[in-house]
Amino acid sequence: MIEPEIMALVEALADKAAREYLAELAAKHEAAEGARMSLAKMIAAYEESERAIHPLFDDAECPASDRARFAASLLAQVHEHAISIRLLLAMPSPGNRFGTACALMRPILEGLVRGLWILDCATDDQVQERIANDDDAWRPGLGVMSEAVDAALHTDGFYRGLHNRFYNAMCSYTHGGMRVVNNNLTGEAIEPTSTLKEWAAVVSFAHAMDLLATHASLSICSKDEDAQRVLLRAEEVIAAKLDSGV
């Protein structure tokens, strides 16, 4: 028979453990909610920026050439993917959808670089060859295209740098590689491990690429002044991202 004093001690210890556990859960919830609200403010600011840009296309006309329409279609996909990333990470518990959001980063970069390459670098024969080819194997590869875009737009290695730094990681997320696996593994459980800083980095990247695609799309429609304003905004977002260390 257990002595009453021992039983009381066991119950007290159990109560203490329960209280500590509940306090830990509450702290985690508070931290997660704070992170979600911080991310929500960032997303809201980007959406406000987008609403200001959207009317610029009201009177825009895309030239009827194959080059312009092909490039504009690729750039429109960048916008679609950027919106999808925001929607995924704006929902409660963004860590549960972080891997899916990251899977869209590769097609965002590919769509932007390919759109710019078609617009500013490809020969007429290359444009027609790409339109006539039903397979998904782009030639040249994205690295070569990135270098060509940098040379044509005088962007000082910006696009090649994006490719060199991030493309392998993007492929891992898109194809279910180890980055996806590690994103859901802790030492004790199968649960998301991503952080607010990582969520913010993905949202900022998508928004910056979207702005660059929008700049190119406005340029296609000969709305050069509007395009320049959007480009300046893109540069601000990219500079802020670099300053934050993200």
Using one digit for the tens of pLDDT, what is the confidence trace for 150-183? 999 999 999 999 999 999 999 999 888 888 777 7
Q: Is residue 12 included in any domain, yes or no?
A: no
Q: Is residue 17 included in any domain, yes or no?
A: no
- What is the SS3 assignment for 27? helix
Q: Is residue 223 included in any domain, yes or no?
A: yes
pLDDT in tens, 91-133: 888 888 999 999 999 999 999 999 999 999 999 999 999 988 8
- Which residue range is the domain that position 181 belongs to? 39-243
pLDDT in tens, 39-95: 888 899 899 988 999 899 988 899 999 999 999 999 999 999 999 999 999 988 888
The token pair at 58 is 């009201």
Q: Is residue 21 included in any domain, yes or no?
A: no
Q: Is residue 22 included in any domain, yes or no?
A: no
Note the pTM of the prediction, 2 decimals: 0.81
Q: Is residue 219 included in any domain, yes or no?
A: yes
In 3D, which of 165, 146, 170 has the Cα closest to residue 156? 146
Q: State the total domains in the chain.
A: 1
Inter-residue contact 120 to 150 (CB < 8 Å) = no
Q: Is residue 195 included in any domain, yes or no?
A: yes
123 vs 200: CA distance, rounded Å:
38
User: Residue 189, exposed/middle/buried by CB under 10 A (0-12, 13-18, 19+)?
Assistant: exposed
- Mean pLDDT (the chain, rounded): 85
The token pair at 176 is 């279910």
pLDDT-based confidence at 29, cuts 50/70/90? very low
Q: Is residue 7 included in any domain, yes or no?
A: no
Whether the CA torsion 26, 27, 32, 37 is positive or negative: it is: positive
**Model confidence at 187: pLDDT above 90:** no
